[in-house]
Amino acid sequence: MSKITVYETTRFPNPARVRAALAEKNATDQVDFIEIDVMAAQHRTPEFYAINPMGTVPVLRTADGQFISESTAITEYIDHQFEGTPLTGRTAEERAEIHMMQRRAENLVLDAATSYFHHATPGLGPTLEINPCEQWGTIQKANAQRGLEYFDQHLQSRDFVAASQFSMADITLFYGLGFADFAKLEIPDSLVSLRAWRDTMSKRPSLGG
C-alpha cells in the first residue's frame, strides 16, 4: 500500500495546521509531502483542480487514493488514523465544543485576517489576486481585530481554546494569529491573556517550540 501524501506549501498557514496535527501524533515521518508552488500558480492548474476543485492547499491523499481537502477534514482524518493526542475530542460534548471553537478561530481570526490580506492589501500580487474587494477586506480587518479581543476574553479563564485540552481549535487559533501578524494585524499589548496563551503554545514542539 502506498503512503499517505500531503500536498502543501511551505510557510503557508493552512498547510502548517496539518503539519502541527501530524506532529502531535508523531506521524510526520509516516507521510510523504509534495510542495505546491502557490506563487507560481501550481494550485490553479487542471491537474491540481482535479484533486481539489477549491484550488487550495493543503490536500491529503490517503493510502487508498482518496483526496481530502480542508484543514479540518484532514485533521479529522489524521486524528482517527494515528495514535496520540486526541485533536478533535472523544466525547460528544468535547467533539462539539472543539468543532464550535475551531470554527470561531477560523471565522474570527484566520479567515478574517486572510480576507483582509487578499482583499485590502496587495496580497499575493496581481496575478493571483483576481477578484479583490477592498470594502470586504476592510470589514474583515475590523472583524479580525474584534476576534482578537474575543479570544483574549475567552482565554482569561482557560489554558486551551476548547474542552480543557489541546485540540485542533488551538492549532487554528495559533496559525490564525501567525497569519494576522504577517498581515500586520498584531495582537495589541493590552490583550495579555491572548499573548500569554500564544507564548505557552509556541513552546509546544508541534507548533515550532
DSSP state of 2: P
Query: Rounded to the nearest whole angstrom, what is the least distance from the CB of residue 143 to ligand GSH in the complex?
Result: 16
What does the alpha-carbon distance between residue 139 and residue 38 come to, in Å, rounded to a whole number?
A: 26
- Given a contact cutoff of 8 angstroms between Cβ atoms, the answer to whether 26 and 84 are in contact is yes
- Residue nearer to ligand GSH on the CB measure, 69 or 195: 69
- Residue nearer to ligand GSH on the CB measure, 72 or 145: 72
Query: Rounded to the nearest whole angstrom, what is the least distance from the CB of residue 206 to ligand GSH in the complex?
Result: 17
Indicate the pairing of strand 31-35 with strand 4-8: parallel
- Residue nearer to ligand GSH on the CB measure, 115 or 206: 115
- Residue nearer to ligand GSH on the CB measure, 23 or 191: 23
Query: Rounded to the nearest whole angstrom, what is the least distance from the CB of residue 208 to ligand GSH in the complex?
Result: 16
Residues engaged in binding ligand GSH (CB under 6 A): 9, 12-14, 38, 43, 56-58, 70-71, 128
- Residue nearer to ligand GSH on the CB measure, 128 or 196: 128
Find all residues with CB under 8 Å of 131, minimum gap 6, and list them: none
Query: Rounded to the nearest whole angstrom, what is the least distance from the CB of residue 9 to ligand GSH in the complex?
Result: 6
Query: Rounded to the nearest whole angstrom, what is the least distance from the CB of residue 163 to ligand GSH in the complex?
Result: 20
Closest-CA residue to 110 (of 189, 196, 170): 170
Indicate the pairing of strand 67-69 with strand 31-35: unpaired
| Three-class DSSP labels, 161-192 | CECCECCHHHHHHHHHHHHHHHCCCCCCCCCH
- Residue nearer to ligand GSH on the CB measure, 1 or 130: 130
What does the alpha-carbon distance between residue 146 and residue 161 come to, in Å, rounded to a whole number?
A: 16
Query: Rounded to the nearest whole angstrom, what is the least distance from the CB of residue 54 to ligand GSH in the complex?
Result: 7
